[in-house]
Amino acid sequence: MSPRDSQRAKVYDAEQLVRGVFDRADEHGNRTVELYGSHLTLPIERRFATVDSVQTYANKVLGLNWVRAQWDRAGVAVRVRSRAGTTAAHYEVEDAVLAVPLHTGGTAWALRELVVLHELTHHLEPAPASVAPHGPEFCSRYLDLVDGVIGPEAALVLRATMLGCGVRLGSG
């Protein structure tokens, strides 16, 4: 029996806020945000058009030398597929499948880098998983991925937002 996923809602709330920050930066063409008195320039968050483009991206992330050196599960291939539902992306641990909803109702909210990195973070969980799916260990691993792949500014915004939403982070 896996531990209770007690901070799932807090993690999702933080992610939604951060996606909003990136969306506004894209809409207004101003990538500079203020965070606790410091001005940061947000990096570009990649967007995807197809399952194939998400698959290519996932393969490249898992193939990065530093990712392979840090997490054994990076050596396990992940398969990306479309998901019929529109409200969530998810990771299927049994078959190493990342399922993402495609364009629905004029939006493609899940076809973006932050969402794909979230699901890849689940993939990198050491097996067998003995911690909560969105627990402190997951959150620290997610921040490491965001920092190394999107950039330290994105990780700082995500970290600050997670902490502001009451998310606990791991010590590793």
pLDDT tens digits, 59-100 = 999 999 999 999 999 999 999 999 877 677 889 888 999 999
Give the span between the Cα atoms of 84 and 98, in whole angstroms.
13
Contact 36, 160 (CB under 8 A): yes
Contact 45, 113 (CB under 8 A): yes
Give me the residue label for tokens 């933080």.
14
Quick one: pLDDT band at residue 2, thresholds 50, 70, 90?
Answer: low
Q: 3-state SS of 5-38?
A: CCCHHHHHHHHHHHHHHHHHHHHHCCCEEEECCE
For 37: left if phi > 0, alpha if psi spans -120 to 50, otherwise beta; the answer is left
3-state secondary structure of 60: helix
Tell me how crowded residue 20 is: count the other CB atoms within 10 A of its CB: 11
Quick one: pLDDT band at residue 1, thresholds 50, 70, 90?
Answer: low
Tell me how crowded residue 150 is: count the other CB atoms within 10 A of its CB: 21
Using one digit for the tens of pLDDT, what is the confidence trace for 10-37? 999 999 999 999 999 988 888 999 988 9
pTM of the complete model: 0.93
Contact 45, 150 (CB under 8 A): yes
Give the span between the Cα atoms of 48 and 123, in whole angstroms.
19
pLDDT of residue 110: 82
